[in-house]
Chains A and B, each alone.
Chain A
Amino acid sequence: MLKLERRPEASERWRYGSPLLALLITVALGIGLFVLLGKDPVRGLQMFFWEPLKSAYALGELMVKATPLLIIALGLAVCFRSNVWNIGAEGQFVIGAVAAGGVALLADKETGRWIVVAVILAGVAGGMFWAAITAWLKDKFHANEILVSLMLVYVADMVLGYLVYGPWKDPAGYNFPQTKSFEAVTQIPRLMSGSRVSVGLILALVGVAAVWVFLFRTRSGFVQQVGGLAPSAARYAGFSSRKALWLALLTSGGAAGLTGALEVAGPIGQLTPYIPSGYGFAAIIVAYVGRLHPVGIVFSAVLMSMFYIGGELAQSRMGLPKSITGVFQGLLLFSLLACDTLVAYRLRWQSGRA
């Protein structure tokens, strides 16, 4: 029978091989699924892996979808590497959007372009504030950050709902729950015309570099991760776990809040109850699939976005149900988690002996 045997040290090859194998497994299962549904599997794969890449417009849309995932996942990577499990990035995203929206609503036709900066900063601050609640509760009360941050997601949704149904509702909007559209001057600048890609992409790529430098080239980044990997050793060396906690949560909260600002002052252009779009949860998967490594996260963000957009296209062009996206994303993560075992363990055939 097959037995799992711990490796003396983690396998480098499988560290890179595991995501690839997971992707292959997902694709294979996907082909099986298409065939079961009576759809052309090759065309199905095209929807997911070719269509989102095939033109400049398509790539632009891919970036529009990938940028928020990328930014949030970068923050989460720092967080998870510090052994702080922030599951509530979605809530931090929403509060960041709310804060950014609040500032954007202050603008009128006379306001200058500087307001964009204010909007973005408000978003970051909002996300940080929301994450700070979790950090404070853990710091002062030892409250489990997973449960607290998760609960705060729902509270954040309620805060947004209260604002768009109430005080911030557009008076000229026929009583629909939404704020007025933000003035054009608050719009996050686009990178180029003809595409919805915004400067958020630049921010994201800068973030990738910054996180990479922080994690792998600075002392404080090292300290941060030791706290995550070996808490007792960290304590012995005098590294402050409290500092690590706050840094981790503020970073990921700020990243999520920034993304909220970019979305709301970008493609959406107003606050509506539909802002919570699951990016905060999807980013957890993106971070994981990208191995909590900034460069890996770039690839996994693109991959997840391909799944999203491919799912939409599969629906409109092949009549496949929308739910197929969630199935694929879940399968990918499952396969990855399973394949990851091979990094730390190897499979051995054990004959005879029980």
Chain B
Amino acid sequence: MTVLNKRSILKIAAISLVTAAALVACGKKEEAKPAAAPKAEPLKVAFVYVGPVGDGGWTFAHDNARKELEKQFGDKIVTTFVEKVPESADAERNFRDLASQGNKVIFGTTFGYMDPMLKVAADNKEIKFEHATGYKTADNLRTYDSRTYEGAYMAGVIAGKMTKTNTLGVVASIPIPEVIRNINTFTMGAQSVNPKVKTKVVWINEWFNPPKETEAATALINGGADVLMQNTDSSAVLQTAEKMGKRAFGWDSDMTAYGPKAHLGSAVINWAPYYIKSVGEALDGKWTTGQSWWGVKEGAIDMVNVATDVPDDIKKRVDEIKAGLKDGSFNIWKGPIVGQDGKEVLAKDVVADDKFLGGIKFYVKGVEGKVPN
């Protein structure tokens, strides 16, 4: 008959604590041993992601590009990533830690990292910072973005032909110019082959929330849309379309596998060309600040895996658009473009410049509803 002895438990606890502390201290000493390799230090490159690597969408695309980067430069670089870093006070700490760990190029892949990155960049002038989708720069911080609207346009061309109800649906995230622009471009693309289409929009006010994306997609389909597009980061919209027998597009990454019957094509972002350029410049000492906005021309945007039942003339049209974007002969945002109220927002033959595109807060004719706030 044993009674757990308080005294002995406390003794054991104390000894364990001391042992653990000793272990930790010993482990620390190991870290202090000098590094072995005398050859050229690989360049340390770090990535900060807002979402999980497995989201199958936005972050997935960035991480795929990171892997391409590793393949390209081999052992000249070493990459690290941190995922699920929220756009809050925690972000700054993550960037600072990466900076203190010897990373020389740091990528921040969402808008909300803008101010934290600026602060950390100011304190680490020898490190190069790259901010995706931002608009503030510094001597050692530049921004980059992708012309997702080009992908949206090509999707629209396909959608316009494939819709039987002439109603398209978009599951939209947050009402910033980029997303509104994509809704508009999708509609414009569809109207170019089918002037009768209308677009309905549901805003979920988040970038990534699969259950909500599912509900939004369901509401759109219930409202009559039979081809969906999304500006959100998961494959839920495509999966919902698959389940309900409608069509949809993949977004950011190739989502064919998530809805083989529903999939019409994926408007993908390929960040690899930009990442390779950026790290290449850093390695060669030619990195300078600026703002980049890449599209089909630079290999950053593509429409892939177009479904086999899409008519050949549409497939040809998509290829023509890609070629036109590559050699500069085709402009998506070229007037006349009419707003919802019927007034012209872009006069005939006028080509919108990046400034115009960056501030879009209106819907074009054919989009139903009002822009939130």
Which residues of chain B (245-298) have a CB below 8 Å from chain A?
none
Q: Does A344 contact B (CB under 8 A)?
A: no
Q: How far is the CA of A177 from the CA of B176 in the complex (A)?
A: 8
With beta carbons under 8 angstroms apart, the residue of A46, A175, A196 that contacts B176 is A175
Residues of chain B within 8 A (CB-CB) of A166 are 373
Is B3 touching A312 in the complex (CB atoms < 8 A)? no
Q: Of the listed stretches B89-97, B149-157, B345-353, name the one at the interface; the rest are far from the partner chain.
A: B89-97
Q: Does B38 contact A (CB under 8 A)?
A: no
With beta carbons under 8 angstroms apart, the residue of A50, A175, A266 that contacts B361 is A175
With beta carbons under 8 angstroms apart, the residue of A42, A175, A309, A351 that contacts B93 is A309
Q: Does A136 contact B (CB under 8 A)?
A: no
Is A174 touching B80 in the complex (CB atoms < 8 A)? no
Is A46 touching B174 in the complex (CB atoms < 8 A)? no
With beta carbons under 8 angstroms apart, the residue of A24, A263, A274, A346 that contacts B86 is A274
CB distance from B182 to the nearest CB of A (A): 14
Is B20 touching A27 in the complex (CB atoms < 8 A)? yes
Residues of chain B within 8 A (CB-CB) of A17 are 6, 9-10, 13
With beta carbons under 8 angstroms apart, the residue of B2, B10, B90, B359 that contacts A349 is B2
With beta carbons under 8 angstroms apart, the residue of B3, B24, B93, B175 that contacts A61 is B93
Is A316 touching B101 in the complex (CB atoms < 8 A)? yes
Q: A312-B82, A322-B84, A349-B1 are in contact. Are A161 and B205 (CB under 8 A)?
A: yes
CB distance from B5 to the nearest CB of A (A): 10
Summarize A's interface: helix, strand, loop or mixed: helix
Residues of chain A within 8 A (CB-CB) of B27 are 42-43, 45-46
Is A42 touching B89 in the complex (CB atoms < 8 A)? no
Q: Does B37 contact A (CB under 8 A)?
A: no
Which residues of chain A (332-348) have a CB below 8 Å from chain B?
346-348
Q: Does B330 contact A (CB under 8 A)?
A: no
CB distance from B140 to the nearest CB of A (A): 20
- Residue tally, chain A, CB below 8 Å to B: 47
- Residue tally, chain B, CB below 8 Å to A: 48
Is B88 touching A175 in the complex (CB atoms < 8 A)? no
Q: Does B320 contact A (CB under 8 A)?
A: no
Q: How far is the CA of A274 from the CA of B207 in the complex (A)?
A: 13
Q: Which residue of B lies closest to A20 (CB)?
A: B13
Q: How far is the CA of A166 from the CA of B175 in the complex (A)?
A: 11
Is B4 touching A346 in the complex (CB atoms < 8 A)? yes
Q: How far is the CA of A313 from the CA of B9 in the complex (A)?
A: 33
Q: Which residue of B lies closest to A351 (CB)?
A: B1
Is A46 touching B24 in the complex (CB atoms < 8 A)? yes
With beta carbons under 8 angstroms apart, the residue of A24, A169, A347, A351 that contacts B4 is A347
Is B83 touching A175 in the complex (CB atoms < 8 A)? no
Q: Which residue of B lies closest to A23 (CB)?
A: B17
Q: Does A275 contact B (CB under 8 A)?
A: yes
Q: How far is the CA of A351 from the CA of B3 in the complex (A)?
A: 12
With beta carbons under 8 angstroms apart, the residue of B17, B23, B28, B176 that contacts A174 is B176
Interface string of B99-141 (1 = CB under 8 A from A): 0010000000001100100000000000000000001000000
Q: How far is the CA of A292 from the CA of B174 in the complex (A)?
A: 42
Residues of chain A within 8 A (CB-CB) of B31 are 46
Q: How far is the CA of A348 from the CA of B373 in the complex (A)?
A: 66
CB distance from B113 to the nearest CB of A (A): 12
Q: How far is the CA of A175 from the CA of B111 in the complex (A)?
A: 12
Q: A27-B20, A316-B80 are in contact. Are A267 and B92 (CB under 8 A)?
A: yes
Which residues of chain B (1-53) have a CB below 8 Å from chain A?
1-4, 6, 9-10, 13, 16-17, 20, 23-24, 26-28, 31, 46
Q: How far is the CA of A12 from the CA of B121 in the complex (A)?
A: 52
Is A45 touching B93 in the complex (CB atoms < 8 A)? no
Which residues of chain B (169-183) have a CB below 8 Å from chain A?
174-177, 180
Q: How far is the CA of A317 from the CA of B112 in the complex (A)?
A: 23
Q: Does B162 contact A (CB under 8 A)?
A: no
CB distance from B183 to the nearest CB of A (A): 13
Is A277 touching B86 in the complex (CB atoms < 8 A)? yes
Interface string of B329-373 (1 = CB under 8 A from A): 000000000000000000000000000001101000000000011
Interface string of A49-75 (1 = CB under 8 A from B): 110000000000100100000000000
Q: Does A329 contact B (CB under 8 A)?
A: no
Interface string of A314-327 (1 = CB under 8 A from B): 01110000100000
Is B88 touching A272 in the complex (CB atoms < 8 A)? yes
Q: Does B216 contact A (CB under 8 A)?
A: no
Which residues of chain A (229-273) have a CB below 8 Å from chain B?
263, 266-269, 272
Is B23 touching A42 in the complex (CB atoms < 8 A)? yes
With beta carbons under 8 angstroms apart, the residue of A45, A275, A316 that contacts B88 is A275
Interface string of B209-238 (1 = CB under 8 A from A): 000000000000000000000000000000
Residues of chain B within 8 A (CB-CB) of A20 are 13, 17
Is B94 touching A50 in the complex (CB atoms < 8 A)? no
Which residues of chain A (8-50) have a CB below 8 Å from chain B?
11, 13-14, 17, 20-21, 24, 27, 42-43, 45-46, 49-50
Residues of chain A within 8 A (CB-CB) of B28 are 46, 50
Residues of B within 8 A of A (CB): 1-4, 6, 9-10, 13, 16-17, 20, 23-24, 26-28, 31, 46, 80, 82-84, 86-90, 92-94, 97-98, 101, 111-112, 115, 135, 174-177, 180, 205, 358-359, 361, 372-373
Residues of A within 8 A of B (CB): 11, 13-14, 17, 20-21, 24, 27, 42-43, 45-46, 49-50, 61, 64, 161, 165-166, 169, 174-177, 181, 196, 263, 266-269, 272, 274-275, 277, 309, 312-313, 315-317, 322, 346-349, 351
In the A-B complex, list the 4 residue pairs whose CB atoms are closest, starting with the nearest: A42-B27, A267-B89, A316-B82, A274-B88
